[in-house]
Chains A and B, each alone.
Chain A
Amino acid sequence: AQSVTQLDSQVPVFEEAPVELRCNYSSSVSVYLFWYVQYPNQGLQLLLKYLSGSTLVESINGFEAEFNKSQTSFHLRKPSVHISDTAEYFCAVSESGGGADGLTFGKGTHLIIQP
């Protein structure tokens, strides 16, 4: 079974400042990793994913995440945030071999962008 820890429930950041949302996972086997974003009153949208290959993955709107196997982390970063990035961000993990648990979500981090 796998687990995900998002260390910060809330992260306030000023507009145009950089941000890092932290995600650590636990699994005894190889994993897939995902970041989802949820805007108010909407469903979850896949922001980016790591399945295999390059450990640095990027999204179309400037976010990136790096898979670090030794630190079991998949932190999300953006060099300069915008007001429209205000949302809830969920990290998720699954076993790449198709384990019994499917996707396991972290508790989420609320990113608050201050003008």
Chain B
Amino acid sequence: DTEVTQTPKHLVMGMTNKKSLKCEQHMGHRAMYWYKQKAKKPPELMFVYSYEKLSINESVPSRFSPECPNSSLLNLHLHALQPEDSALYLCASSLKWGRELFFGEGSRLTVL
């Protein structure tokens, strides 16, 4: 099983809403990532969890809050977002830091 599953595929939210993006992998990978991707741009790293501990936070605003409940699950909690936060949010996992990433299909977020 080489799959990373993300839900929901599409999300529309207002600036006062609270929502969450979810990600699951069953490859036994111990590193999990959140990326943000704008149109026609490469993915930008947001957060890295290594062995369920937050190891990297790329100066992401606090309105994005990651959570890693266990080694297979990764959440991204969203609150008080801005329209410029509209983007494709990608979850990825890897065997370890620096090795190939396996991406999910992404969650397309629109903030109104």
Contact = CB atoms under 8 A, between A and B. Distances in A.
A11 to B, nearest CB: 14
A86 interface: no
Contacts, number: 52
Given A102-B48, A105-B42, A107-B41, A43 B106 contact: yes
A86 to B, nearest CB: 14
A103 B98 contact: yes
A32 interface: yes
Interface stretch (A16-24, A44-52, A68-76): A44-52
A99 interface: yes
A108 B40 contact: yes
Nearest to B48: A102
- Interface secondary structure of B, over-half rule: loop
A67 interface: no
A107 B38 CA distance: 12
Contacts of A107: 41-42
Contacts of A110: 40
Contact of B104 (A43, A95, A103, A105): A43
A95 B97 CA distance: 10
Interface string A17-57: 00000000000000010101000011111100100000000
Interface residues of A, number: 25
Contacts of A46: 100-102
Interface in B79-101: 90, 92, 96-101
B8 interface: no
Nearest to B91: A43
A104 to B, nearest CB: 9
B45 interface: yes
Interface of B: 4, 6, 40-43, 45, 48, 56, 90, 92, 96-106, 108
5 contacts: A32-B100, A43-B4, A94-B99, A98-B97, A108-B40
